[in-house]
Amino acid sequence: MLKDAWTVAIETLSWIEMQKLSERLALTRTVKQLNIGNADAIRYGYGLVCETVRRKNLIDSFINSVLKPKTLSELTLGVQAFLRLYVYQTRITTQWAKTDIEEAAGIAKLARAILGWGTLSEVEPFLGLLLTQKPELELRGASDEKRVAMKTFHPVWFVKYCFKLLGRREALAFLEGSMNPPPTYIRLNTLRASEEEILEELANENVKLEKSEPLKHAYKVTAIKHALTRTSSFQKGLFYIQDKASCYAAEAANPKPEMTVMDVCAAPGAKTTYIAQLMRNKGEIYSVDYSIRRIRTWQKETSRMGVEITEPILADARSNLPFKAEADIVILDPPCTSTGAFGKTPSAKWRLTQRSIERMSAIQWQIINNCAEKVKKGGVLAYSTCSITVEENEMIIERFLKWHPDFALEEINPQMGLPGFRGLTKCQRLYPHIHHCTGFFIAKLRKT
Gyration radius of the chain's alpha carbons: 23
- Identify which of 153, 152, 111 has the alpha carbon closest to the alpha carbon of residue 130: 111
Angle at 8 between CA 7 and CA 14, to 5 degrees: 90
Q: Is-cis flag, bond preceding 214, omega within 30?
A: yes
φ/ψ of 222, rounded to 5, equals -100, -20
Q: If residue 385 lies in a helix (H) or strand (E), which one and from where to where?
A: strand 375-385
Q: Measured between alpha carbons, how far is 143 from 225 in angstroms, rounded to an integer?
A: 44
Which residues are the active-site residues? 386
Instruction: Determine the angle formed by the axes of helices 101-115 and 124-132, rounding to 10 degrees.
Output: 150
Task: Evaluate whether 95 touches 151 at the Cβ level (below 8 Å).
Answer: no
Task: Classify residue 417 as exposed, middle or buried by CB count within 10 Å of its CB (0-12, 13-18, 19+).
Answer: buried
Q: Measured between alpha carbons, how far is 394 from 421 in angstroms, rounded to an integer?
A: 7
Q: Measured between alpha carbons, how far is 298 from 313 in angstroms, rounded to an integer?
A: 11
Task: Evaluate whether 7 touches 36 at the Cβ level (below 8 Å).
Answer: yes
Task: Evaluate whether 58 touches 135 at the Cβ level (below 8 Å).
Answer: yes
DSSP letter string over 97-152? -S--HHHHHHHHHHHHHHH-HHHHTTTHHHHHHHHH--GGGGGTT--HHHHHHHHH
Q: If residue 303 lies in a helix (H) or strand (E), which one and from where to where?
A: helix 292-304
Task: Evaluate whether 149 touches 57 at the Cβ level (below 8 Å).
Answer: yes
Count of Cβ atoms closer than 10 Å to residue 137 Cβ: 10
CA count, 13 A, side-chain hemisphere, 258: 0
Q: Label the pairing between strands 310-314 and 239-241.
A: unpaired
Q: Measured between alpha carbons, how far is 120 from 112 in angstroms, rounded to an integer?
A: 6
